[in-house]
Amino acid sequence: MTLLVSTMVSMTAVAETGGIDSLRTIDLSVEPPAEAMKKVLESDTTFHRDFIEQPPLIPHDIRGYTVNKDVNTCLQCHSWKNASKWGATRISVTHFYDREGKQRADVAPNRYFCLQCHVPQADTAPLQKNNFEPVDSLK
């Protein structure tokens, strides 16, 4: 019986990672202790962008901001209608074009789930070393 259980556990470990190395340093079949919550970097200004197509990083906490099919809290401040009232950047014109390139009256479905592309930042060590350098004109 003991043997059967240990075989099942190791099979689960392989099934969960597919045998592929990942950035995780923990064994997925063991429940690790919860990590301390990281403090989100907040600023009244925006983060520098390192390349022109970069989705700008979010310079504020987003805890409690819901985005689902019924409500999009982000647009309550970032839509063209509301942005100036909040001093927030309006969503880009590109966010009105759907995947067929057709311009819509409101944010296109492929841009609705903001957090697919925009992320807040925490002051923490990078998971992966990155040597990316912006071109001189953007430094």
In the complex, the residues that contact ligand HEC under the rule CB under 6 A are 43-44, 46, 53, 55-56, 58-60, 62, 65, 67, 72-78, 86-89, 91-92, 94-95, 107, 111-118
User: Toward ligand HEC, which CB reaches closer, 10 or 54?
Assistant: 54
- State the Cα–Cα distance between residues 123 and 104, nearest whole angstrom: 37
DSSP reduced 3-state for 103: strand
User: Toward ligand HEC, which CB reaches closer, 29 or 120?
Assistant: 120
- State the Cα–Cα distance between residues 139 and 132, nearest whole angstrom: 12
Report yes or no: 115 and 127 within 8 Å, Cβ to Cβ.
Answer: no
| Residue 74 is assigned to a ligand binding site | yes
- State the Cα–Cα distance between residues 49 and 27, nearest whole angstrom: 36
| Residue 41 is assigned to a ligand binding site | no
Phi, psi of 122 (to 5 degrees): -120, 150
| Residue 48 is assigned to a ligand binding site | no
User: Toward ligand HEC, which CB reaches closer, 53 or 133?
Assistant: 53
| Residue 95 is assigned to a ligand binding site | yes
- State the Cα–Cα distance between residues 97 and 111, nearest whole angstrom: 9
Q: How far is the CB of 9 from ligand HEC (least distance, A)?
A: 38
Q: Which residues are annotated as a binding site for heme c?
A: 60, 74, 77-78, 95, 114, 117-118
Residue numbers belonging to the annotated binding site:
60, 74, 77-78, 95, 114, 117-118
